[in-house]
Structure 1
Amino acid sequence: MSIPRLFVKWGETKAAYNLFAHPSATPEAIQHTHREQVREALGSPGVKLLLEDTTDCSWSGNEPVPGLGPIGTGAEGLQGFQLHTTLAVAWSHEPWQSTGLSRRPAVEVLGIADQEYHVRRARRESEPIPLDSQDIGRESQLWERATERLGPAQAEASWLRVCDRGADIFSFLNSCQTHGHGFVVRASADRRLEDPQPGQKRLLFPTVRAARSLGSFELELRARPGQAARIAVLEVSATAVRLRSPQRAGAAAGRDPAIACTAVRVFESQPPEGVAPLEWILLCSEAVDSFEQAMECSLQYATRWLIEEFHKALKTGLGAERLQLKQAANLFAAIAVMSVVALRLLHLREVGRATPQAPAARSGLGPTELAVLEAQSGRPLKTVSEVLAAVGRLGGHLGRKSDGPPGWLALWRGMDVLLMMVCGFLLAKNLLDYG
């Protein structure tokens, strides 16, 4: 995407360039009001999930952009940065028996609670990689720095950090407990457990796999590269564990206090022929004593997919990596704006997936946008599903039964066309009103 494509007048385009180039236009400053509103929503009673992930943003193939750093393995000459986003959603899962659905529960998208734009430092070929685990530049520190910026959980709210295997870091889990954050983190390492008796040695994975199944449920799994979407029959088990602290600079293994949590195993005992069985081993901060609690922990982790969808909306839908700005700081400012815009697409798709028959007003589009979209469609738009399909059609989505829902690119193109049509409608209205 080019900046001139977003604006009709040259003055508006120039103003955007000036904004993104201004020294005070940092992502934190640009998103300040938005994040304050999200922080206020996070303080309300109830369970809030903080979905967290890191994505590489690449400008490879272009001229070198001052301020960007190496990405990937660093050997390919790729340039870019890592975007670490914490997305806040409200969790309101109904008891399993009352739904009978195989889809993860719907959530309310609250917004961006935190973002970090991390640039790796380029190293010379002869320069050794630092061994200090406290190196501020290490990607493993992204999770803990997000904890520090989020601060302690507010009194009436329950915050759960929901993360993939990249967050299976002892110091991160410890920082969550220190700040009053719960967590649901997929285990990556077969950790040593605190020995119940001297001389015994237990590891996480075999201990969890030995636990009996508490029951099974069905869950719709999204499509993955090389794997079609499907409904899986998943079993769950739960084991209370104490994670032994690893060795760190200045302290031997087991010197720091252990972390008490529950390891929930989510697994397929009978996968379809030719399909690798799914297995998640989830580290959950809460006590899990029943099938219902284990299943809820599983569904909370399944909701983590939303943060990946957000990054797809930003990169594939809005084309963040196609920006042609010449300084890293300018790119950061533009992407901070685009991140908030991407939330509209995420909200529309989430509501359309979860509650397709909800009234059209729940789509997140304003009254004028809905009126213009309905006029263009030539048919009433009464539900969120109909709004989603209409926006997709504007973006080139054919909407046949075999096509599935509109993708991010079709949604962004459709929303872009709709906003242009709304501008035209308002201009025409002004001409009629004022001659």
Structure 2
Amino acid sequence: KPIEEKESYKWLESLKETESMFSDKLQIMIADRESDIYDLFTMPRRKNSHFLIRASQNRLLKDIDKKLFTALEKADAKGNLVIEVGRKKGQDSRLANLTVKYERLSIKAPKNTPKEIKDVSLNAILVEEREFSDGIEPIKWILLTTLEIASLEDALKYVRWYSYRWLIERFHFVLKSGCQIEKLQLGSSEQIQKALAMYSIMSSIILFITYKARIEPDSSAEEIFTKKELKVLYLLTHKKEYTSKNTITFKDSILYIAKLGGFLARKSDGNPGLKTIWLGYRKFYDIIQGVNLIKHFKYINT
């Protein structure tokens, strides 16, 4: 059936929509395997509009008797890259050492496509984790892009960009599961837009403090919290007054926040997750609002 009637048409619509919104800006659509659609490869695009997607189909190549995956696997390694892999169920976050290969390849149009649909040339990147511990699902990505690869640095940059997708997924996890944005019962699109803007800021804060605590655990908590907030946080979790002798690191402060959200902090628990940090942050924010209201009680009682 026509591409317009398929669910996958949303990827083409998304690209068109962003082109109309940012006509004078460089735009790059980064997407997962669901977007491996030949119609997306051949659709008309502006010169400053590109895509970087993960391949799911082992497509036939033009001029060589190989398929996409085989051609890349037999290519020479060009370099290596270390990236952070987000925590999965049963697996902690980790660093992965990836071997990187890339080639310019011509992909044949699928069978039964209209004659006007031509073959297309794309840059293809293979990144593969060859050394990994038992129980770890190794990374193996094949990426397709219209972006130019003039050097190894270009290829490494594009792999890093794709690797950031998991952070975006975590952002939406907080927005949906923590803020429960989909359950808001608002009366107009304007109200929805305002709520989405507010909760997006809150979700970004949760994401920032969660991963900063892991990347820079020993940095000062005063980078994000005021002294008053730290005093309240310390009192809530330690049941005693905070003094200047008590140094609170960023990791400490996020642990205290997570405990308010139900995190038990057992040795086997690892780092607190986004959900407990969100629950703790929301509770802490409400408490801070109450503390700020106390100084106005004299006006309420008159």
Same fold, judged at TM 0.5 (above): yes
- Residue 283 of structure 1 aligns to a residue whose secondary structure is strand
Alignment check: 8 A CA contact 2:15 2:29 kept: no
Distance 1:387 1:317 in 2: 20
Gaps of 5+ in 2: none
Match of residue 169 from structure 1: 37
State the number of aligned residues.
Answer: 293
- Aligned residue identity for 2:89: P
Match of residue 181 from structure 1: 49
1:373 is the counterpart of 2:237 = no
Distance 1:228 1:190 in 2: 31
Distance 1:139 1:190 in 2: 21
1:311 is the counterpart of 2:198 = no
Deviations, residues 269-321 of structure 1 (Å, cap 9, x unaligned): 34445655431111133333544333332222111111221232134333457
TM-aligned CA distance change 1:341 to 1:276, over 3 Å: closer
Match of residue 107 from structure 2: 243
Distance 1:408 1:267 in 2: 28
Match of residue 83 from structure 2: 219
% same residue: 26
Equivalent runs, 1:139-218 vs 2, <5 Å: 139-151=7-19, 153=22, 155=24, 158-174=26-42, 177-178=45-46, 180-193=48-61, 195-196=62-63, 201-218=65-82
Gaps of 5+ in 1: 1-130
1:344 is the counterpart of 2:205 = yes
Deviations, residues 87-115 of structure 1 (Å, cap 9, x unaligned): xxxxxxxxxxxxxxxxxxxxxxxxxxxxx
Structure with more contact order per residue of length (Cα contacts < 8 Å, sep ≥ 6): 1
Distance 2:278 2:137 in 1: 34
Higher share of residues assigned strand:
1
Distance 1:324 1:292 in 2: 44
- Residue 13 of structure 2 aligns to a residue whose secondary structure is helix
Distance 2:180 2:279 in 1: 10
- Aligned residue identity for 2:67: L
Equivalent runs, 1:77-96 vs 2, <5 Å: none
- Aligned residue identity for 1:212: D
- Residue 57 of structure 2 aligns to a residue whose secondary structure is coil
Equivalent runs, 1:272-283 vs 2, <5 Å: 272-273=133-134, 275-283=136-144
- Residue 217 of structure 2 aligns to a residue whose secondary structure is coil
- The TM-score normalised by the length of structure 2 is 0.77
Aligned counterpart in structure 2 of residue 292 of structure 1, from 150, 153, 157: 153
TM-aligned CA distance change 1:229 to 1:346, over 3 Å: closer
- Aligned residue identity for 2:155: A
Distance 2:223 2:69 in 1: 43
TM-aligned CA distance change 1:158 to 1:386, over 3 Å: farther
Distance 1:201 1:284 in 2: 22
Higher share of residues assigned helix:
2
Alignment check: 8 A CA contact 1:184 1:285 kept: yes
Distance 1:370 1:146 in 2: 43
TM-aligned CA distance change 1:402 to 1:139, over 3 Å: same
- Aligned residue identity for 2:58: D
Equivalent runs, 1:347-366 vs 2, <5 Å: 347-360=208-221, 362-363=223-224
Distance 2:43 2:200 in 1: 27
Distance 2:75 2:126 in 1: 9
Match of residue 263 from structure 1: 124
- Residue 265 of structure 2 aligns to a residue whose secondary structure is coil
Residue 165 of structure 1 and its aligned partner are, at CA, apart by: 0.6
- Aligned residue identity for 2:259: R
Residue 430 of structure 1 and its aligned partner are, at CA, apart by: 1.0
Alignment check: 8 A CA contact 1:245 1:257 kept: yes
- Residue 178 of structure 1 aligns to a residue whose secondary structure is coil
Residue 170 of structure 1 and its aligned partner are, at CA, apart by: 2.8
Alignment check: 8 A CA contact 1:261 1:287 kept: no
Equivalent runs, 1:34-183 vs 2, <5 Å: 131-135=1-5, 138-151=6-19, 153=22, 155=24, 158-174=26-42, 177-178=45-46, 180-183=48-51
TM-aligned CA distance change 1:172 to 1:355, over 3 Å: farther
- The TM-score normalised by the length of structure 1 is 0.56
Residue 265 of structure 1 and its aligned partner are, at CA, apart by: 0.5
Distance 2:223 2:51 in 1: 30
- Residue 224 of structure 1 aligns to a residue whose secondary structure is coil
